[in-house]
């Protein structure tokens, strides 16, 4: 299998083909394009922009299908409370008027809320007490 060619090597074809040949024959492939100071300047600019663009530019949104139930975050993925809420969602809520609307709204909000809950334990306690209250009424 042929060795993979670096894109930058292929790009040198657009600079000067003669230089490419001469460098190969003289065995100093990396010389002849820029001086060391310019290369150093370029590398520093790359590093600085890489750090800044990662910090300032909006990152790609995660895939939408990775939903997270708030109860899974508060009680645990397989906890009986979580299972009870799932059961209530499927058996009761989904069949009621506006139930699917509620479930959709919940799924839209729940990933962001779950992320918040992971970060803030105090908020987790508040949500847990609200869910406990809901579970007592089911």
Partner 1 sequence: MFGPDEFAALFVVVLGYALFLFRAKRNRKGKSKAEAFFKQDNTPLEIQQSSLYGSEQHISCTCPIPLNGTYDQLYERLDNALIVADTKTRNKPQVFHSDVIQLSAYKVILENSKEFKGKQVLDYGYMRLVCKGVTHYKKVDLMREDQVVELYQRRRAILNGSQQATKADSRGKCLNCHQLKLCGGVKSFRRTHTAAQGIKRKVSEW
| Helix residue ranges, H only, 92-120 | 99-119
Residue 95 is a binding residue for partner 1 (CB under 8 A) = no
Residue 109 in the binding site for partner 1 (CB under 8 A): yes
CB-wise, 9 or 80, nearer to partner 1? 9
Handedness of CA 99, 102, 106, 107 (dihedral sign): positive
Two tokens at 74? 């508060």
- Residue 113 interacts with partner 1 (CB under 8 A)? yes
97's CB contacts (< 8 A; 6+ apart) are none
Smaller CB distance to partner 1: residue 77 or 109?
109
Characterise 66 by phi-psi region: left (phi > 0), alpha (psi -120 to 50), beta (else): beta
Query: Quick one: 113 exposed, middle or buried, by C-beta within 10 A (0-12, 13-18, 19+)?
Result: middle
- For partner 1, the closer of residues 52 and 86 by Cβ is 52
- Least gap, CB of 123 to partner 1 (angstroms): 8
If one asks whether residue 94 binds partner 1 (CB under 8 A), the answer comes out as no
- Are 48 and 98 in contact by the 8 Å Cβ rule? The answer is no
Residue 42 binding partner 1, by CB under 8 A: yes
Residue 31 as a binder of partner 1 (CB under 8 A): the answer is yes
Question: Does residue 41 contact residue 34 with C-beta atoms inside 8 Å?
Answer: no
Footprint of partner 1 on this chain (CB under 8 A)? 1-8, 10-26, 31-32, 34-35, 38, 41-42, 45-46, 49-50, 52-54, 56-61, 70, 88, 93, 96, 102, 105-106, 109, 112-113, 116, 127, 130-131, 133-134, 137-138
């Amino acid at each position: 299998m042929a060795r993979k060619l670096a894109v930058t090597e292929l790009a040198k074809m657009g600079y000067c083909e003669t230089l490419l040949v001469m460098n190969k024959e003289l065995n100093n492939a990396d010389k002849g394009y820029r001086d060391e100071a310019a290369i150093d300047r370029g590398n520093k600019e790359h590093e600085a922009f890489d750090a800044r663009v990662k910090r300032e530019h909006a990152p790609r949104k995660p895939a939408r299908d990775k939903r997270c139930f708030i109860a899974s975050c508060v009680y645990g993925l397989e906890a009986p409370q979580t299972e009870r809420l799932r059961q209530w969602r499927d058996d009761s809520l989904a069949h009621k008027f506006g139930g699917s609307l509620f479930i959709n709204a919940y799924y839209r909000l729940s990933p962001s809320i779950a992320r918040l809950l992971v970060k803030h334990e105090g908020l987790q306690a508040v949500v847990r007490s609200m869910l406990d209250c809901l579970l007592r009424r089911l």
